[in-house]
Chains A and B, each alone.
Chain A
Amino acid sequence: MVVINDRSRDLGPFMPADDDGLIICRCEEITKGEIRRAVHDGMFNLHEVRRFLRCGMGLCQGQTCGRLVRSIVARELGTPIAQIDEATARAPMRPIEMSVFAKEVEDV
């Protein structure tokens, strides 16, 4: 869903929290505080937070943390979570070695 999103709107100051050190993306070791700060830096959705911090870009491709990151971003923005799009689904569904992907065989 594309929502008109003014990136200059006031989110208020960044307020440090006790659980800012909590790791959210374990593949890339990104903390809750880093994600919250990224929002204040203008990263207003999952795509930008991923590209900015790499959370959800590791081996599991965000399948573990995606849901958590989404709720953190929504809460930080004060936006209904439904307006925060989930990540795009991209092949491969599971990590695959280059040598395997390189080898295409015809099943007969």
Chain B
Amino acid sequence: MKRYDLIVVGAGPAGLSAAAEAAAHGLGVAVFDENSRPGGQLFKQIHKFFGSKEHKAKIRGYDIGAGLLREAEGLGVKVYLNSPVTGMYLDREIVAETDGAVSHYRADAIVVATGASENMVAFDGWTLPGVMGAGAAQTMMNINRVRPGSRVLMLGSGNVGLVVGYQLLQAGCELAAVVDAAPRVGGYGVHAAKLARCGVPFFLSHTIVKAEGETRVTGVVIGRVDETWNIVPGTQKHFDADTICVAAGLSPSTRLLLMAGCEMYEPVPGGGRLPVCDEFTGKTSVQGIYAAGDVSGIEEASSAMIEGRAAGAAAAAELGYISGGELKARLDKLETALASLREGMFAPKNRGKVFVKTDEGYDISDSLLRNGYLADGEATKYPGVKSVAGIHPVIECTQNIPCNPCQDACPKGCIKVGTNIVSLPAVDEKAGCIGCGMCVASCSGQAVFLVNEDVGGGFATVTAPYEFLPVPQKGERGVALDRSGAPVCEAEIVDVRTSPSFDRTFLLTFRVPGEQCSRARFWRREVRRFGRD
């Protein structure tokens, strides 16, 4: 039987990281993946990642995936693609299917990095064609280049729902609404704000009553839910839609771990089993078997990559390729990086908690949590939003999330996050902003704008990040939209900038009447392409 030091199941962020780490320590490593391309979900992630430099923040997911793959292959990792692992048997044996045949492999250590699958929600009509997981829609768009539909309703306001919702807009779909039974937006406020300013309405405390249609989805009815999750009579609303995306959370794909006999537990009743394992290296109850990434508990890809590294290092130590001391040094470093990602309001330990104030004591915007955007006048309460003469950054980042590229991006030191990566960024009005726009392009949440409140003639300019095609031209006239997506005034494009360092983000500068500069946050051609009717 073919034998490797380490077999990794799943070539996603955790698996590739585990493989690269172990191979770097000298292990003979093979990675198996059922897909034709490695990278797991990374190659679907066209948005920029959060975190800090060491977490590859502000790099787009597919670039992170490509880098990881280069690293792993450069270290001699054997990557088996189109090779589903059909089973895990006693004593770290796997059977994999490749090219119309099966082969048996044994390893001295196995890292299971099989990720997670999407949860479905059953409602009247949920089996109609046109109802799909948000992740499935993302695969259609970003891997297969197929638009999932033309008018979509998104169920779920977690980060998956919000990120995929935005990508649907980028792909040219209309987004009829984001609906969530929870009373508050579940994902990052900045992700919600990106959608809201495009005019996408949010319906919190609502759920789908039914999908309409005979042979496929033609419409959706939603309704408000009461405290016991029942629909309140008379609150039903109808939307025309040909597609319903469901982003109702993920379930870890633990079946291989179960087959291997790993001890499991269920932290959230009904939420599905997770392996009992070291929360950092993923070492399970079965000798030589590790779990890394979403399979050991749903988190972001950034965390998964560190978990993968830790599992790879632990396997290297178990097999004698590095000493206990070397392992400890490596893990200490990784643990610091992981710990910073596991801080803030969205940290795994804070799931389900309701925050009314930030760590710094600022009120969390109720409007942001209910509508997806900061209400007029709220933005100035936060340390990133200050009224300053001349051009200056306006950072509408109002929740404690682990992210700091804006701080590093500014060559003039205008932006301070500090050493605590989850702190809200503060603008230093005395450090002279030169309007370079690096902060705008670096913000993964697209929450940084450049504002010049007085460019003469009673006008102001607003510079906003823009990731839609076609890119507007200088001199084009359109309308400026406020944070809710409502038109506030006419606006002419006065500058369009891009550069390799912006990594495909365009910076649109549009001119608005001076009194609108604190409201105008997005620009739209006169043609109505998306949003409310």
Contacts and interface: CB of A to CB of B under 8 A. Distances in A.
Interface stretch (B15-23, B44-52, B100-108): B100-108
A45 to B, nearest CB: 14
B100 A103 contact: yes
B270 interface: yes
B12 to A, nearest CB: 15
A80 interface: yes
User: Interface size class for chain B?
Assistant: 35 or more
B270 A71 contact: yes
B87 A106 contact: no
A32 interface: yes
A2 interface: no
Interface stretch (B139-147, B254-262, B454-462): B254-262
A20 to B, nearest CB: 12
Contact of B269 (A22, A65, A81, A104): A81
B294 interface: no
Contacts of B120: 64-65, 68
Nearest to A85: B273
B124 A22 contact: yes
A96 interface: yes
A82 B124 CA distance: 27
A89 interface: yes
A86 interface: yes
Interface string A31-73: 0100000000000000000000000000000011101101100
Contacts of B251: 67
A62 B1 CA distance: 32
A64 B100 CA distance: 26
B349 interface: no
Contacts of B472: none
B34 A94 contact: yes
Given A63-B117, A93-B256, A107-B105, A86 B272 contact: yes
Contact of B95 (A26, A32, A80, A91): A91
B272 A67 contact: yes
A23 B127 contact: yes
A108 B2 contact: yes
B259 A90 contact: yes
Contact of B100 (A24, A70, A100, A106): A100
B396 interface: no
Nearest to B270: A81
Given A93-B255, A103-B101, A86 B86 contact: no
B97 A96 contact: yes
Nearest to A81: B270
Contacts of A23: 122, 126-127
B119 interface: yes
A93 B85 contact: yes
A67 B84 CA distance: 23
Contacts of A22: 122-124, 126
A81 B119 CA distance: 17
A48 B259 CA distance: 20
Contacts of A91: 86-88, 95, 259
B84 A93 contact: yes
Nearest to B114: A93
A73 to B, nearest CB: 11
A81 to B, nearest CB: 4
Contacts of A96: 84, 86, 97, 102
Interface in B84-136: 84-88, 95, 97-98, 100-105, 117, 119-120, 122-124, 126-127
A89 B272 contact: no
A89 B84 contact: no
B270 A105 contact: no
B278 interface: no
Interface string B238-273: 000000000000010011101100000010011011
Interface in B1-45: 1-2, 34
Contacts of B105: 107
B125 to A, nearest CB: 9
B270 A70 contact: yes
Q: Taking each of A32, A65, A80, A100, which has the highest tally of chain B beta carbons within 10 Å of its own beta carbon?
A: A100
A22 B211 CA distance: 12
A19 interface: yes
16 contacts: A22-B122, A70-B270, A71-B270, A74-B270, A80-B269, A89-B259, A91-B88, A92-B87, A93-B84, A93-B255, A94-B84, A96-B86, A100-B100, A100-B102, A103-B101, A105-B102
Nearest 6 interchain pairs by C-beta? A91-B87, A89-B258, A92-B86, A89-B255, A81-B270, A103-B101
Given A32-B122, A82-B266, A108-B2, 20 more contacts: A22-B123, A26-B127, A65-B120, A67-B251, A70-B270, A82-B269, A89-B259, A90-B259, A91-B86, A91-B95, A91-B259, A92-B86, A93-B84, A93-B85, A93-B256, A94-B84, A96-B86, A100-B97, A104-B101, A106-B103
